Amino acid sequence: MARQLKARSTERDQVEKELHRLQNYLSNIIDSMPSMLIGVDINGNITQWNKKVSQVTGITSKEAIGLPFTTAIPRLADRIDMVNEAIKTQQSCVVPRSLTREDTENIYEDITIYPLIANGIEGAVIRVDDVTDKVRMEEMIIQSEKMVSVGGLAAGMAHEINNPLAGMMQTAQVMRSRLENRLMNANLVAAKTIGISIEDISAYMEHRGIFEMMDAITESGIRIAEIIKNMLNFVRKSDTTVSSHNPVQLMEKILKLAATDYDLKKQYDFKSIKIIKEYDDNPPMICCEGAKIQQVMLNLLRNGAQAMFEYKDHENFIPQFTLRLAHEYDRNMLRIEVQDNGPGIDKKIQNRIFDPFFTTKPVGIGTGLGLSVSYFIITENHQGTMKVVSQPGKGSNFIICLPLQ
């Protein structure tokens, strides 16, 4: 009898060890999965909590087991009705690309709820997969395709605008010639035919400022043509050639292009911003990819302008950019500064501001790629440096240094 009891005890110990080993094995499998896996019973209390959930929430499995689902993971609390429905209907439920916002960052997750029946115990398993990188990559591809389309549209629009613009400017010049030139035979004959002197016509035009108006038409046409030219140079596919550029001239081209930035809905106009230029006398020529530096500067100017616009309700606030060009002789670098007097950036955001896809703008407004791409252009393509110096309420200063050799 004693032998039988001992044998049974040994057998039971072996079964318990094997069961414990299998439980650990299963637990390790669950913990090694990259997805968050949460088990709940029919009452919505936590029964399973894998390692990934602990990493995301900061709550250990021991602390989470037994807690209500809505308490353990509040950001998914609004999904409890779906969990109950899945348990009731015994049908899986999928929520693709669920959006949550954490610390100014958008997080996209695929949520799948599986009903569970095991040995008469009802419940559900919630699987959560972070698909943020995938969504952002798709957005980047779509944005790239959109920009290619915009470039093609811009070229077509420029062609359509240039033709009537050339006709308008030429007509204005011909009109001035016919009204002002007192020696042109055709003008003299026409004036004599209608019984008026060419001198009287010219005097009337001068007195009424007609010639000045024609000059304004011509000057406006020239400005439109220059804007179109700058826009085409910017959107045209870059051949990534490095050439020598005068930094002052490059900055002026960028400012002319930025001056066309206008948001009708927000009544925001870049031309309303005060520009202060603090340039060294005769700064050195810089070897760079002009189009890419334009892209960086335009992004900084646009971001700063938008930030200042949102800050405009402060008393006596006048939006202002201070642009600086300086030769750093000790490092043989050209320093470019773009400083605004907007709301500034807190330290926490500064630490991540150049990270890909990081944005503080509302959903659908920013991609979070502008500054990261700019940083890559400066540091990788031009072996330079780029940093931001800022304090909340005291504006921001982006500092770029480019090597002169």
CATH fold of 241-404 reads Heat Shock Protein 90 (3.30.565)
Residue 312 has pLDDT above 90, yes or no: no
Mean pLDDT is lowest, of 63-72, 155-164, 213-222, 357-366, for 357-366
Confidence of residue 300 (pLDDT cuts 50, 70, 90): very high
Does the pLDDT value for residue 264 go beyond 60? Answer: no
Specify the higher pLDDT residue, 359 or 40.
40
Band of residue 128 on the pLDDT scale cut at 50, 70, 90: very high
Q: Tell whether the model's pLDDT for residue 75 goes beyond 90.
A: no
The arithmetic mean of pLDDT across residues 235-242, rounded, is: 60
Average pLDDT over residues 207-218: 87
Instruction: Map out the domains of the chain as residue ranges.
Output: 18-130, 241-404
Average pLDDT, the chain: 83
Answer yes or no: is pLDDT of 126 > 70.
yes
What band does 147 get if pLDDT is binned at 50, 70 and 90? low
**pLDDT value, residue 275:** 92
Q: Does the structural domain 18-130 have CATH classification 3.30.450.20?
A: yes
pLDDT of residue 29: 81
Q: 83-92, 139-148, 267-276 — which is least confidently predicted?
A: 139-148
Least confident of 89-93, 101-105, 191-195, 375-379: 101-105
Give the model's confidence band at 326: pLDDT under 50 very low, under 70 low, under 90 confident, else very high: very high
Q: How confident is the model at residue 398 (pLDDT cuts 50, 70, 90)?
A: very high
Band of residue 238 on the pLDDT scale cut at 50, 70, 90? low
pLDDT of residue 122 exceeding 70, the answer is yes
Overall pTM surpassing 0.75 (yes/no): no
What pLDDT is stored for residue 361 in this prediction?
A: 63
Lowest-pLDDT choice from 5-19, 21-35, 212-226: 5-19
Helix/strand/coil (H, E, C) string of the chain?
Answer: CHHHHHHHHHHHHHHHHHHHHHHHHHHHHHHHCCCEEEEEECCCEEEEECHHHHHHHCCCHHHHCCCEHHHHCHHHHHHHHHHHHHHHHCCCEEEEEEEEEECCEEEEEEEEEEEEEECCEEEEEEEEEECHHHHHHHHHHHHHHHHHHHHHHHHHHHHHHHHHHHHHHHHHHHHHHHHHCCCCHHHHHHHHHCCCCHHHHHHHHHHCCHHHHHHHHHHHHHHHHHHHHHHHHHHCCCCCCCEEECHHHHHHHHHHHHCCCEECCCCEEHHHCEEEEEECCCCCCEEECHHHHHHHHHHHHHHHHHHHHHCCCCCCCCCEEEEEEEEECCCCEEEEEEEECCCCCCHHHHCCCCCCCCCCCCCCCCCCCHHHHHHHHHHHHCCCEEEEEECCCCCEEEEEEEECC
